Amino acid sequence: MRSKIFLAAILLTPILVVTFSSLYFVMGKSPEGTKNNGVFFKSYFNFNQFKNKNGTQDLLNFDDGKWVLSVYVTDIDASSESIYLTRQLNIALNRDINKLKRVLFYSNKLLEDDLKVIQSQYPRVNIIEDKNGVLLNVLQRNSSINLNVENPIFVIDPYGRAVMYFEPGTDPKLILKDLKVLI
């Protein structure tokens, strides 16, 4: 008799846990917030809507299935820390280093000479011109910081959807933790 009660308790425990947790969730007692250290963009937008300066092809190609770690450069001095941090984060990913590519966007033609210097310092970074600043306007509308003053790191998934951005001053270890979960 004692073993039957023990067996029934073992068999009913998972059923009771699932039932009560489902009821708890349905009654509105679900977890709040996320564990992400980055900030999600206000609304969904896809990078496939942005075309090159000729308007013939996408700014970015997502056929390689890589995540994109990027910075929109509006000021070289303001973005230098973010650019350096993207390289350090890429290196810190170790075996996942090939699942990520780094991209810098810009729209100001006056930055081209400075970006060539950056290209020589960081050879594996892609630099893409955003003609007319269309991407900058979309990023500005969907974030809570001023991108003309601060140049945060933002993440794009392998399908071309902007996921989140990291506000300046975010601890690099927390950013790395998020990237490891995403990738």
Per-residue pLDDT reduced to its tens digit, 63-91: 888 899 999 999 898 899 999 998 898 88
Confidence category of residue 183, pLDDT binned at 50, 70, 90: confident
How confident is the model at residue 15, as a pLDDT? 93
pTM over 0.85: no
Architecture (CATH level 2) of domain 39-182: 3-Layer(aba) Sandwich (3.40)
Domain ranges for the chain: 1-32, 39-182
How confident is the model at residue 33, as a pLDDT? 56
Per-residue pLDDT tens over the stretch 159-179: 888 889 998 888 888 888 888
Q: What is the mean pLDDT of residues 135-158?
A: 89
Please give the share of the chain, as a percent, with pLDDT higher than 70. Answer: 92
Q: How many CB atoms lie under 10 A from the CB of residue 167?
A: 14
**Residue 88 contacts residue 80 (beta carbons within 8 Å):** no
In whole angstroms, what is the distance from residue 155 CA to residue 51 CA?
19
In whole angstroms, what is the distance from residue 49 CA to residue 106 CA?
17
Q: How many CB atoms lie under 10 A from the CB of residue 102?
A: 20
Q: How far is CA 6 from CA 3, 15, 42, in A?
A: 5, 15, 52
